[in-house]
Structure 1
Amino acid sequence: MQQPVRIAPSILSADFAKLGEEVRAIDAAGADYVHVDVMDGHFVPNITIGPSVVEALRAHSTKVFDVHLMISPVDPYIEAFAKAGADIITVHPEAGPHVHRTLQLIRSLGKKAGLSLNPGTPAAAVEPLLDLVDLVLVMSVNPGFGGQKFIPGALDKLRTLRALIDDSGRTIDLQVDGGINRETAAQAIAAGADVLVAGTATFQGGPEAYAGNIAALRGAVTGRQS
């Protein structure tokens, strides 16, 4: 069953010179999750932050820290991000030799486990792992950079995954990330998403605009309220 819409601002689009202030600002503005994109310049063509930054930011918010690891190999870093304060740790099936074992590791550390699907990764990759995931993330852009255009094919993948999750009877977040604005948010929610990762759409206009930006995304579809 589709859950209330939750908003997960991606700090990839925040002002990196004052990340602590930015996290406090989106917390106060009504964010549900704080989405942290971790990139290694190898698995994706960009480099962002590591566990020490997550640890430093943890004191600035009690909201869910939703940490998306776009790194390979991923297994050696899971424990560090868990200790740093991640609540959800999301990995890609291509980021290690045994994704089933990776998800088991995340859960053994007391964290929620997420599985992220790139545009070229089929929805079927989730099916044998449903009993180990708390979140499925559909990438609606190729990962690596913020500000990209939404790939419409992600909507069919969301619909397929919505049916798969509902049929499983499990409570699993269905998250979408990439090119999310008010228009694409409405499309993604209609296709079954219930967590929206939004970088540019949240952080545009500066801190005074964050609450309005988040409210606009949350209310993207009439009748869907958080």
Structure 2
Amino acid sequence: MPALPVRIAPSILSADFAKLGEEVRAIDAAGADWIHIDVMDGHFVPNISFGPAVMKSVRGVTTKPFDVHLMISPVDAYLDAFAEAGADCITVHYEAGPHIHRSLQHIKGLGKRAGVVLCPGTPAKMLDYLLDTVDLVLVMSVNPGFGGQHFIPSQLKKIAAVRKMIDQTGRAIDLEVDGGVDPDTARQCIDAGADALVAGTAVFRGGPDAYADNIRALRGA
């Protein structure tokens, strides 16, 4: 089981983009631990979201950590830009470049926390020679590219496998889950070993007045 308290990281992909600064302030005030930023390029995943300029524009409205998930390929050319725009943790996909270890080393060299993402079809075994480098492992419980998808139950087994691998290292590595997270699936993820949860629809539904209750419901799971 995870040794750290569960962190909630609302994904601003589900925010109202016309009021993005206000939305970030609202989820900060509502109790978010991290601000999750999904960056999509229309190539690695079938959608386009936003780049470092948009991220930088909202960096000043909160002191909460920016948890930046880069769904772009090739990813290496963009690491510096997102670090400069205010990322605290930069997470990259195993398949997003020719040398994942080099990408992670580069992120660490920028003074940022480094994370690696496992898509639903990427086995936990891919972490065998990376856990001495990473600060976070993100298990995708949907196929990346769109919000509002249904949780893939087979990923619970992977979460449990990754938790065991992390515990064997003795290192403080966050185990994050992203995709279809709601109060019901949150409990399953936590039981499997997750200690950080990304949620978009489940946090942002109902508007700003509901955000605190939505976050409490996830944390209470």
Q: TM-score by structure 2 length? A: 0.99
Give distance in 1, aligned partners of 2:56 and 2:133.
25
Deviation at 1:82, TM superposition (A): 0.1
Q: Deviation at 1:20? A: 0.4
Alignment of 1:18-167 (within 5 A): 18-167=19-168
Could you tell me how far 1:13 is from its partner in structure 2? 0.4
For 1:166, the aligned partner's letter is D
User: Taking every aligned residue pair, what percent have the same amino acid on both sides?
Assistant: 70
Aligned residues of 1:74 and 1:96 also touching (Cα < 8 A): yes
Consecutive unaligned residues in structure 2, runs of 5 or more: none
Query: 1 CA distance for matches of 2:28 and 2:84?
Result: 21
Q: Which residue identity lines up with residue 125 of structure 2 in the other structure?
A: A
8 Å contact kept, 1:2–1:192 = no
Look up the equivalent residue of 2:84 and give its one-letter code. K
Write the letter of the residue equivalent to 1:116. Answer: V
Post-superposition offset of 1:2: 2.5
Partner of 1:15: 16
Confirm or deny: 8 A CA contact 1:36 1:66 kept in the other structure.
yes
Contact 1:9 1:202 in 2 (8 A): yes
Using the TM superposition, name which of 185-194 and 124-133 deviates more.
124-133
Equivalents in 2 of 1:18, 1:57: separation in Å? 10
The letter of the residue matching 1:68 is: H
Distance 2:122 2:79 in 1: 22
- SS of the equivalent of 1:211 reads helix
**Matching residue of 1:178:** 179
Distance 1:42 1:19 in 2: 24
Aligned pair 1:215/2:216, yes or no?
A: yes
- The number of residues matched between the two structures is 220
Runs of 4+ more than 4 Å apart? none
Aligned-partner Cα distance in 2 for 1:60–1:134: 25
For the residues of structure 2 that align with 1:178 and 1:11, how far apart are their CA atoms?
Answer: 13
Gaps of 5+ in 1: 221-226
TM-score, length-normalised on structure 1? 0.97
**Cα offset, 1:200, TM superposition:** 0.3
Cα displacement (A) at 1:93? 1.0
Equivalent pair of 1:155/1:187 in contact (CA under 8 Å): yes
Structure 1 position 97, deviation (Å): 0.2
Quote the Cα distance in structure 1 between the aligned partners of 2:163 and 2:57. 35
RMSD: 0.5
Specify the SS of the correspondent of 1:95. Answer: coil
